[in-house]
Structure 1
Amino acid sequence: MAKHNRWSKVKHRKAAVEKKRSKAWTKIIRAVMVAARAAGPDPSANTSLRFAMDEARYANIPRDTVERAIKKATGEGAGDNFETMRYEGYAPGGVAVIVDALTDNRTRTIADVRLAFSDAEGNVGATGSVAYMFAQRGEISLAPSAKVNGDRVMEIAIDAGAEDVEEPGDEESGWTVYTDPVAFENVKLKLEGAGLSVAEAAISMIPANRVEVRGEQAKGLMDLVDALEELDDVQKVYHNGVIPDDELAKME
């Protein structure tokens, strides 16, 4: 599976890191609140809340901030009612895109999403138009470390039920472990229990095949993803595009 570490570096140079972090925190806290409101404040009995709290931990959001969000979400008459929405479409070059959102206003969100696609010369499709190209899988990214033994990572992960293990793409990335959604938590706990540092872990939509794009199509894809991730209602953006390193180098 292709890694996008080089792309990440380009994106971080394009925007202020603090602004990115602030927006990411806001989205994670919203996910925590929605999960708590939907199924209660106890993470041991609420899987969605447990996953959202883990994501908050990996993003270094203070625990008291998360706890305040849970209390606010489960208090009497708490807040707005958010719903989960999924949009599908195509970026330039025929790249398939899935957008997951949490919104309290469907009309606003779909208008914003359509505008982002239109500005990038892509288009929003019907439900199911691209989802079949992706599979839901657990994705666990280990923190980069020269001390991590790849054979040990593979042994622990596979024994715990992982489906695939991907080696680092460069010295600034870590090993990535892919799992069936059912085995996700067990694999993550086994890795952490073995002393391995998890940088990110989430249930993701992983594409079955990748589409390589270059030139204006590559720029259009990057612009679309950036525009979607800037939207407050958008939680996750998945796509099957690949921009080769030499093409990314031209954009730096």
Structure 2
Amino acid sequence: MSGHSKFANIKHKKEKNDAAKGKIFTIIGREIAVAVKEGGPDPANNFKLAQVIAKAKANNMPNDTIERGIKKASGADGAVDYKNITYEGYGPGGTAIIVEALTDNQNRTASNVKSAFTKGNGNVGTPGCVSYMFDKRGQIIIDKEECKVSSDDLMMLVLDAGADDFNEEDDSYEILTAPENFQPVVEALTKENVETVSAEVTMIPQNYVSVTDPDTVKYIQRILDLLDEDDDVQAVYHNWEEPDEN
């Protein structure tokens, strides 16, 4: 495990996200629409939808909002044709960045993503150019201070539910799963009233890149900020070892 605190980074991202809760709900709403269109409205028979619902609950999306999104996507008015597109590229300082977008206008999205990379002294690469440096995993982060379950009991709970790995850090617990085991582990935690700071199927870097030059850091942050502001961008993954937030 790397020495930096994933909890500090995720908490920082969550604070930014909480300030833009409307965008997060919009993002998840689009994911619900695509999942329903591809596999139907029943999460018991639609694995992708079940994953999105778990993500929605981890982001405190109200149940009635989730149900309304599923119902809307199932009806005639759920006909917006969103496409999943993944972009891969290089940021300054040898960093690798993956961008997942959900869009109804590929030309607009491609132009915006390319512009974000260019403004941060990076460049978009070909498909597969950096994704081999990442592993697709379910990742759940729990705040130690908020967790009422002991470390040993928590570890047994998640491993029994199908988790692959349980890591304890100074301020948090990290649980890793195969993508297909993400939902059962989240459900097991929910059943025991264990709250999560973050719960999602994500792309985890195999190795992190440390960048200390202030100008380079500024350009990396520029790319990430521009991508965060883009309504078509669903998720951004990178291997930059961000400094801990103190």
Q: TM-score, normalised by structure 1?
A: 0.86
The alpha-carbon deviation at position 155 of structure 1 amounts to 2.4
Aligned length: 242
Structure 1 residue 229 corresponds to structure 2 residue 231:
no
Structure 1 residue 49 corresponds to structure 2 residue 49:
yes
> Using the alignment, how far apart are the partners of 2:63 and 2:205 within structure 1?
33
Identify if the C-alpha distance between structure 1 residues 119 and 211 changes in structure 2 by more than 3 Å, giving closer, same or farther: same
Q: How do 1:22-101 residues align onto structure 2 when only pairs under 5 Å count? A: 22-76=22-76, 78-101=78-101
Identify if the C-alpha distance between structure 1 residues 166 and 223 changes in structure 2 by more than 3 Å, giving closer, same or farther: farther
The alpha-carbon deviation at position 141 of structure 1 amounts to 1.9
Q: Is the 8 A contact 2:162 2:185 kept in 1?
A: yes
Identify if the C-alpha distance between structure 1 residues 150 and 201 changes in structure 2 by more than 3 Å, giving closer, same or farther: same
Match of 2:129 in 1: 129
> Using the alignment, how far apart are the partners of 2:139 and 2:150 within structure 1?
19
Identity %: 40
Q: How do 1:86-235 residues align onto structure 2 when only pairs under 5 Å count? A: 86-144=86-144, 145=146, 147-170=148-171, 174-214=172-212, 215-235=214-234
State which drifts further: 138-147 or 115-124: 138-147
Q: Is the 8 A contact 1:81 1:104 kept in 2?
A: yes
> Using the alignment, how far apart are the partners of 1:74 and 1:146 within structure 2?
37
> Using the alignment, how far apart are the partners of 2:94 and 2:205 within structure 1?
14
Q: TM-score, normalised by structure 2?
A: 0.88
Q: Is the 8 A contact 2:99 2:236 kept in 1?
A: yes
- Give secondary structure in 1 for the equivalent of 2:179: coil
The alpha-carbon deviation at position 49 of structure 1 amounts to 1.1
> Using the alignment, how far apart are the partners of 1:160 and 1:8 within structure 2?
24
Identify if the C-alpha distance between structure 1 residues 178 and 135 changes in structure 2 by more than 3 Å, giving closer, same or farther: same
Identify if the C-alpha distance between structure 1 residues 220 and 55 changes in structure 2 by more than 3 Å, giving closer, same or farther: same
The alpha-carbon deviation at position 156 of structure 1 amounts to 2.2
Give the letter for the 1:30 counterpart. R
The alpha-carbon deviation at position 69 of structure 1 amounts to 1.7
The alpha-carbon deviation at position 53 of structure 1 amounts to 1.6
Give the letter for the 2:123 counterpart. N
> Using the alignment, how far apart are the partners of 2:209 and 2:159 within structure 1?
28
The alpha-carbon deviation at position 106 of structure 1 amounts to 0.8
> Using the alignment, how far apart are the partners of 1:119 and 1:100 within structure 2?
19
Give the letter for the 1:162 counterpart. A
- Can you give the 5+ residue segments of structure 1 that lack an aligned partner in the other structure? none
Q: Is the 8 A contact 1:5 1:169 kept in 2?
A: no
CA deviations 1:176-225 (Å, max 9, x no partner) are 10012233233333333344223432211111111001122222222221
Q: Is the 8 A contact 1:218 1:243 kept in 2?
A: no
- Give secondary structure in 1 for the equivalent of 2:32: helix
- Give secondary structure in 2 for the equivalent of 1:242: coil
The alpha-carbon deviation at position 150 of structure 1 amounts to 1.6
- Give secondary structure in 1 for the equivalent of 2:207: coil
> Using the alignment, how far apart are the partners of 1:146 and 1:58 within structure 2?
15
State which drifts further: 48-57 or 118-127: 48-57
Q: What RMSD in Å do the two structures reach over aligned CA positions?
A: 2.3
Match of 1:239 in 2: 238
> Using the alignment, how far apart are the partners of 2:29 and 2:75 within structure 1?
16
